Amino acid sequence: MKIILKARETLRKYLKVIIVLLVVAAISIGLFLILKHFGLTDINLLRGWIKSTGPWGILVYILLRIVCTVFLSFMPATSMIFDLLSLAAFDYLNPFLIYLICFTSVVLTSICMDLLGRYGGAKLAAKILGKEEYEEASRLVQEKGLVYVPIMYLLPIFPDDAICMICGTSKMNFFVHLIEIILFRGVACFTVIFGVQIIPPEITSFTSKDPMDYIRVLTFIIAYLILILVFARSLDKYLSKKFKKDK
């Protein structure tokens, strides 16, 4: 009987989490469709709009990124889209200056999401998961976060800004998280800004008719992902053993 009651309680908690995630996803998708309706997901349109603001363009770009990120944080590749937008909107600037603009916007957005989770999401998470489960999840993020959070920041398939908020919600040390943001999200931003310029334009525009061009790029991306994941796994094992010895 106790086992059945415990199973029901666990199932109820998982259902709560799933429902919350579905609601958040529905809100994000709804807002995305609204933005798309008004043309705010069209990079060319946004580029023209940002350029039309003249000297205020950099500030407009940063504010636009912060606002959109808050509402679309759970959608993967949102961050990369804004990285690409910086290339399109500030194509008249030196690539290094574009990187600085993009990097600054990434750091400010990440801090906003961390603080939003730290001071607005902790109580909600504890209520949904239960105090014990929330504390256990927080402990895991604080221990494993040293390895897997930076890795997720390096890969465009994860919703980076949502991860920032989750780190804040789990009370991960703010300054440790800030260092991870500066280092690893900075590297990810650098990869997009300068990587796009390395790839031949006929590939990025999908106008190349040589299949080997796409195969080479795809092979490089897959190799990069495997290398990152293997490194993460090895580092996790090393740190886990180290933590056990220290205890």
pLDDT 10s digits, 113-123: 888 888 876 66
Please name which of 172, 173, 155 lies closest in space to residue 221, comparing C-alpha atoms: 155
Say which residue, 80 or 190, is predicted with more confidence. Answer: 190
User: For residue 105, what pLDDT is reported?
Assistant: 93
Which pLDDT score, from 0 to 100, does residue 99 have?
92
* Mean pLDDT for all residues in the chain: 75
239, 247 contact by CB (below 8 A): no
- Tell me what pLDDT residue 208 has: 67
Please tell me the predicted confidence (pLDDT) of residue 31: 67
Determine the average pLDDT of the residues in 182-204: 78
pTM of the model: 0.71
Q: Report the pLDDT averaged over residues 175-184.
A: 88
What is the pLDDT averaged over residues 33-43? 66
Check residue 81 and give its pLDDT.
78
User: Residue 101 pLDDT more than 90?
Assistant: yes
User: Residue 103: what pLDDT?
Assistant: 94
- Residue 167's pLDDT is 83
CA distances from 105 to 58, 88, 102 (A): 9, 15, 5
Burial, 134: exposed, middle or buried (Cβ in 10 Å; 0-12, 13-18, 19+)?
Answer: buried
Would you state the pLDDT for residue 180?
86
Quickly state the pLDDT bin for 132 (edges 50, 70, 90). low
Mean pLDDT of 174-191: 87
Q: What is the pLDDT of residues 65-88, one digit of tens each?
A: 888 877 776 666 677 778 888 888
- Please, where are the H alpha helices in 38-72? 43-52, 57-72
CB 78 within 8 A of CB 69: yes
Q: What are phi and psi of 172, to 5 degrees?
A: -60, 140
Q: What is the pLDDT of residues 147-167, one digit of tens each?
A: 778 877 877 667 778 788 888
The average pLDDT across 18-47 equals 68
Instruction: Give the rounded percent of residues in the chain with a pLDDT score beyond 70.
Output: 59
